[in-house]
Structure 1
Amino acid sequence: MARKAPGQVRYLDLLLRKSQVVRSTPTRDILSLKAQETKGRAWGRANGYEIRHIFRENLSAYKTGIKRPEFDAAVLALLDGESDCLWVYDSSRYSRKGAGDVLKILDSPGKRLYFDLDRLDTEVPADRSRIVGKAEEAREYSRILSEKVRDTKAEDRDAGKWLGTVPYGLKATKKRKLKGSKSWHIIERIHEEAAQGRSQRQITLGLTADGYTAPWGGPWRVSSVGKILRNPVYLGWQTISVKGTPQIYLNSKGKPIRVFAKGFEGISKATWDKHRRIAAGFERAEGFGARHDEYPQPEQHPVAGMTWCVGGGFDSKMGHRANSVSHSFRCSNIIAGIPCEAPAYVQRGGVLRVVLAEWKKRLAAKDPGDPTMLAVAERWVELSHPEESQAEAAARGQIKVAEEAVERLDRLNAGGAYPGRDGESTFLTHRRIAVEDVESARREWENIAQPLGDISVLTDPERCTKLWDTSGDTYRGQLLRLAIDKVFLRQADYSGQHITSERVVI
């Protein structure tokens, strides 16, 4: 019996462990945690130790990758010198990882490990080899047990037996087959409403409003409804958990296994497929919501897309725009976090007022033969008569083709392609025909273009004002673009400066 030296306290830690899985365990004296603690305390008193800490475990160590924080803390305390001895009831309860877990203690001088049931002590030289052998035996036993459990589970799954906790809405028969429980109608309701296009939140609120309680007894949650909608067990398939998500189990032949009892159908495949397609966005329930292309598009501000910031200069290739933000036009560089020497910040209402006044002025004052008004007339045709405008453009194209034919004949003649009297006669004939084609194309174009070129509705102030007042913002923007291409906005010289033509350059 070890005795204390005068003034010296030796500390003892107890590692108590009882496995959760005791089926198929060989016959041995597996004591409860309380009984192990009693024996450990008695051994400590008999050997002159003072109990420092008791570590308790109640888990199955045969599983691969199992975490044992209590075991790790007990071993660390011994190796760091916080305790002088670690008492364990049974060597098989200590570790299932082999000799490695005991060798780190055997290789540390002054560290004592004692196994009560086996009467093995690391301080006894003859016991050291036996402790290593016991550790390897425990490791091999754990490996065999793990394989047996895995094989047994695989056989049961292949036979269609349910092994885990029974999902909500189902119950297990004596043969471990599943069928609907008294709450199965809730499962059917959730799937049917989801197939009708209702969201998980709407389903949750409906269940709670109707007085149904969740599996744990409280109100329903959206996450619980989502898990039910994604669990293929309600289709009748055997499942396994992959990273916490139920997946259909496949046997060694790659085929799924039915887990429902005979005569019980579960959720239909059509209902399941429908609500999964709706959830993925591949299908829309009838009468539920609107298609994206059916949403009304907001009217764009008439001047939006035409505005530029003077801080970037008047060259559109080198400059930058002023974008419409809320109720103002702002320098796009400043919005993007890029410096600007004179960033524009102008209210949209003031910009529109100045641009509209200049637009009306240009249309009313210009001579109809002015190049600007000719461009306005051409754009007006494209805006007011888009189909006729295409015909007019095709007619103009024919004029260009005919004119190019005349020019090509002149180049050929200048290059000597028509020598002698016969050549000259041929050239004159070909050129006369080409010129006639030009005149014919021009007459055809005039027949199409002249009736369309009437812009009196724009040049008459009253009619122009009426057209503007009865149009939406998008069409107003198209009207402005008949005579205006770009609008440059200047930075205000001082706070509160009025928006005039000095700040809005057209």
Structure 2
Amino acid sequence: MEQPRGQDPSTLIDLFCRKSRAKASKGKREISISAQEARGRIIADHLGLTVRHVWREVGSASRFSRRKSRSDQDKALAALEGGEIGALWVFRLDRWDRRGAGAILKIVEPEDGRPRRLLFDNGDPDKPGIGLDSSNPRDRKELIRRAEEAREETEVLSERVLNTKNHQRANGEWVSAKAPYGLRVVIVEVEDEDGDIIEERKLELDDASADDPKDPTRTKSDVAFAVTYSMPVSNLSPRSIGMELNTGKVPSPSGGEWAHATVRDMIINPVYAGWQTVGAPRSKNRRMLFRDEAGNRVSVMSGPPLLTDEQRAEALGAALGNPGVGTGGTWTTTSYHRLTGILKCGGCGGAAVCNGRIYKCWKAGAGKPCPAPVFVSKRVLEEWVYFRWHAKLTSSEATDDLVYAAAERWAARVAPDATADSRAALNALDDAEAGLARVWADRRIGRYSGPSEAFFAPDLKDASDAVVKAKLAVEASTARRGVDVTFLMDAEMCTEAWDRASDEMKRDLIRLAVDTVTVTKAPYRGARFDGWERTSFKWADGTED
């Protein structure tokens, strides 16, 4: 959102209007966005400000999230903080932000010292006015206090929601928004301990069509039974199950292709035996068995489950005996292979991963389609990448962008503290230069005219001194780093450094100069590897060849 040309930002105001999606409760109705906007425009007219933009946001009624993504709110705040506008009007403080005093302090005490106003409506239905104004010293304390109260309330409510969900799980209710594939949510009426009829969310078998082109009568629960029992006990691995379903054009739970990870998670999921589940730690999709305070399993079904305990145990036993089936054990995200993370498949643009003695397209391994999946010898490709890396660096000059980029990355590895200081100094220099530019910009638009002329010379001196000081800090921090990468440009020294390096160091050395390597599929089975024809490199200086 840009400000009108030639318009002084201090004369511009934005309006932020927000309304929850929740249905109005009995005897209570929330003011509409249009009504909020009308009140904001009255305030703008009263202050003699021009409304630049109206931010309209319809959000969730839940106030339990500590920090939800609210893009319009973030944009409105960024416009005020960035000086695009001089004021921002918000209908209610609890409509604004629940991050606490930090969000308010950035406005009432801006780093650049330029005044900004955050205005809140007075809440009077008959006489719109300003309830709180951040430019009023008496209101600042109240703004900070109420912002902190909103944050604390959110934290308390978050804890209440967690406790409520645990209670619902222990009561056998399904609390997730979506049901697992092959099951669906059903609302059942039950009588509580006081004799009152209440509604509970349970699961039942889903008889909706699975959209199987070969069998239109096949339901989603039929497919789920095949995935979680009949196919595993037939000695099919998750990868084979996914490939068979994809071959038959059966849509996955997301509507696209089946991946072996999806199949594996379904086989492991206890919900298909009718038991309540909870999310596994450090896993987005994997579920684990829920137990109540007494340590008992809890049924979540209305009606029979998809599998019996015996069937699930049989399927798990068969799956755990198949190669390539993960069991949810411990793992590490450390990259053990030299090219992991920088290698790309030329067929689909996705990652190429190491599998034994080869690098291959990850989609081919996951049972997903790739128009031209790459398969290449690990040894041959790593030798080729080393050859290109060595030749590229040893033929470079000290003034080349590639050498500079490699030096920056090498410094980050061998002198991380000094590198962080250098980056901080560069950021400080950028801020100082921006401050100097603002002084001259304010002079050009007349902010130092008239009585304010006396302030121009001191402000200009302070801004200029800040730039000089920041430049000296950059020079000092750069000197402290003191990294030497001349060994990378000398053929013999580079070879010697490589030969002495550990596997971990070799991975790091490659990444000093290489961002990505893309490999295409061989022209025919058994073709001799031709690196010049099949690979393309993206180097650290942004060039490609």
Query: Which has more radius of gyration?
Result: 1
TM range (shorter): 0.3 to 0.5
Q: TM-score, normalised by structure 1?
A: 0.48
